[in-house]
Chain A
Amino acid sequence: MDLTNEQLIEMYITMNKIRTFENRVAELFADGKIPGFVHLYVGEEAVATGACANLTDKDYITSTHRGHGHLIAKGGDIKRMMAELFGKNTGYCKGKGGSMHIADLDLGIMGANGIVGGGPPLAAGAALACQYLDTDSVAVCFFGDGASNQGTTHEAMNLATCWKLPVVFVNENNMYGISSCTLNSMCVPNIADRAAAYDMPGVVVDGNDVIAVYEAVGEAIKRARQGKGPSLVECKTYRHRGHFEGDPCAYRNDAELEEWKEKDPIPRLEQKLLEMKLLTDGKISEIKSALQKELAEAEKFAEESPLPDVSELTEDVYS
C-alpha cells in the first residue's frame, strides 16, 4: 500500500472525528437540541474516510441523507455543521437546510441529499463539467444499497459509461434501507454485480477496512482521472444505530449488530497502527482529547449562535 504514515494517522483521526461527532449528535438529538431527523454514520466511518483520502478540494462529492461522515471526511468544518444541525444562521446553510442538506461548495461538497438516489445524476453532472472544462478533477458519488435500486442511479451509471464520465460510484451497502433488507429488495447479492450491466469495473471491498477502501476507491479515481470513465466500488458495511435517531430497529437483531460491531473499523485501524508503532496509548489519548475539545468548541459555537431572523425566510430562493 502506498499510504504514508501521516496519511494513516490522518485517517485514524478522521474516523474518530466522525465517530465522536455522531455520538454527540445522538445525545444532543435525544436532548431535543436538534430538530427534524438525523441519520448517523456510526460504524461506516471507513467508507467516507478511505474514499475521501484520495480527493482534494478540487474534486467533488455527492452525499446522502446519512451525510455527516462524508462532510467531515471531505474537510467540512464541524462548527458550521453543528450550527446547521441546531438551525442557527451561522450554519453551513444559514439554518435553511439542516442535516440532510449541508453543503460546502468551496470544498466540492455538493450537499447531503434527502432524496434516495438524488446524488448519482448530480455526481455524473459534476463529472461532466470536469470533463468538459478539461480539468482532471473527478466526482465521487456516495450512495447506499437503497439507492442502488432507484431508477436515477441506473440512469446515471448508464450515461456515465456512455459518455466516459470521470465519476466513481462508491456504494455503502449497510444492508438496510429503513427496515427493508437487501435480501428482500435487491435482485442480486452484490451491488457490484450490477457494474457489468453498465460496462464499468465493479469491486466489492470490506467497507470496514479503511485501507482497503482507500486502495479500491483510489484505483477507480486514478482510472477516472486518466479519462477511462466510471467505476463502482461496493463497500460492505453496517450502521450501528438506527436508520434515523429514534428508530427502534425492530427489523434487525442484536446478534447481527454484535457481529458487525466486532468488525468496527476504528479499533481495527487502531490495532494495526499500534502494531506498526505509529500509535501509542499516549498518542491515542492525545488524539481523542483534541477531538473532544474541538467538538466541545463546535457545540459551544452552535449553542451561542443566533437563530435566523424571520426576515431571511424568502431570501436565497433565486440567484
Chain B
Amino acid sequence: MPNMTFAQALNDAHKVEMERDPKIYVAGEDVGVYGGIFGVTAGLLDQFGDKRVKDTPITESAIVGTAVGAATVGLRPVIELMFVDFIGVALDQLYNQAAKMKYMFGGKARIPMVMRASCGAGIGAAAQHSQCLEALFMHLPGLKVVMPSTPYDAKGLLIEAIRDDNPVVFLEHKLLYALEGEVPDGTYTIPFGQVDIKREGKDVTVVATAKMVHTALSAAEKLAADGISVEVVDPRTLCPLDEEGIIESVKKTHRLVIVHEEVKFAGSGAEISAMVAEKAFDYLDAPILRVAAPFCPVPFSAPLEQAFIPSEEKIIEAVRKVRE
C-alpha cells in the first residue's frame, strides 16, 4: 500500500471524487494557483481548470454563503476555510443558513457541502490562527463534524463527507498535514459515527481526537512499560458521535480519560463525559477525567504554547489518577 502524507491523502480524495462527479467544485483562498497554503489542493487547478477550482477573494462569508446557495441549487461545493479561526466572519452562513435550511424549510432543502478548515496549535501562529473549535460546530444541529487523525482516515472520511448530502465541517489539525501513513489508492469511504480503536487495551479508555490521538498513543506506549494497558479510542467524527463505540470501551476498562486540544471548559470532552456518565455510570470505577487546554487563548511564545497544548505527561498523569 502506498505511503502518503495526510495532506496528500486529502488531495487524493479531492481528485478521485472530482473525477467521478462533475458537480463538485473547490473554492477558497489560495486553493488554485498556490495549491492551498497547506498543499491540500495542489494540482487540482491544472487537472480540473478554474471553473471547478476557484481562487476567491478574502471573503469568507461569500465563500461559505455562495457554497450554501450553490449546494441548494444542485452543486457539491468543497470549500476551504484557511484557518478554522476565520469562521467568525462567516458563521451566519454556516449555522443560520446551511445548518438550518433543511429543517426550517420542512425537509425540502438539501445542502451537500463540505467546509474544510485547518485547526490546532504548535507552530507559534498565535491566538487567531491556532484554535480547536470542534465543540462550537458540534453544538449546531444540522452540521456534521469530522476530525480525522491519520492519512488513512483523512482520505476515507473526506470522500464520505463529499458524498454526504449535509453540510459537513471537516477539521484538519495543521500539525498532521505532514504525517505519513499507508493509504490505499482509488476510492474508499469511512462511515461517520464509527470510532476507531487506535490501540487496544484493558485498563483505561482514552478517547482522543486529531493530533491528541498520537500524543495519547505515545503516552500509552510509555504506560505499557509500566504494565498499564491503555485503549486509545478515536471517535473520528464528533457529530454524529459513536456513543456505543465509546461506551463499549468503557464497559471493558471501567475508566475514562478524554483528551482534546480544545479548551477544557465546554469542549467536546464535556459532551462525551456527560454522555458516558449518563449512559454508562454503573461501569465507571472512577470519575471521568479530561486532559485539555487551559481556559485562555492560544499564546504565542513557545514555552507558553507548549504549556497550553495537552502533553504526554499530562495524559500519563490522568491515566494514573483514574486508576487510584
Interface residue ranges, A against B (CB under 8 Å): 60, 62, 91-97, 101, 103-105, 110-111, 113-115, 117-118, 120-130, 132-133, 139, 151-152, 155-156, 158-159, 162-163, 315-319
Contact = CB atoms under 8 A, between A and B. Distances in A.
B70 interface: yes
B295 interface: no
Contacts of B71: 125
A123 B92 contact: no
B41 to A, nearest CB: 18
B6 to A, nearest CB: 27
Can you list the 5 inter-chain pairs with the closest CB atoms, starting with the nearest?
A: A125-B69, A121-B65, A94-B106, A125-B66, A93-B106
B108 interface: yes
A317 B142 contact: yes
A128 B144 CA distance: 24
A128 B105 contact: no
A121 B68 contact: yes
A104 B104 CA distance: 12
A121 B62 contact: yes
A91 B105 CA distance: 10
B57 A159 contact: yes
Given A155-B59, A317-B141, A114 B105 contact: no
B64 interface: yes
Contacts of A62: 69
Contacts of B108: 93, 103-105
B107 A315 contact: yes
Given A152-B92, A317-B142, A97 B106 contact: yes
Given A151-B61, A319-B110, 17 more contacts: A60-B73, A91-B106, A93-B105, A95-B106, A97-B104, A111-B101, A111-B104, A111-B105, A121-B62, A126-B69, A129-B75, A133-B75, A152-B92, A159-B62, A159-B66, A162-B57, A316-B107
B59 A319 contact: no
Given A94-B107, A114-B96, A158-B62, A319 B68 contact: no
B73 A130 contact: yes
B164 to A, nearest CB: 8
B152 interface: no
Nearest to A123: B69
Nearest to B89: A151
A96 B92 contact: no
Contacts of B60: 155
B66, B72, B97, B112 interface centre (most CB from chain A within 10 Å): B66
A290 B320 CA distance: 79
A132 B65 contact: no
A121 B66 contact: yes
A110 B107 contact: no
A316 B105 CA distance: 9
Contacts of A318: 102, 142, 144, 166
Contacts of B109: 103, 105, 111
12 contacts: A94-B107, A111-B105, A115-B92, A115-B96, A118-B93, A122-B72, A122-B93, A125-B71, A132-B70, A155-B60, A156-B65, A318-B142
A242 B65 CA distance: 30
Given A105-B108, A120-B65, A158 B96 contact: no
B103 to A, nearest CB: 5
Nearest to B102: A316
Interface in B99-155: 101-112, 141-142, 144
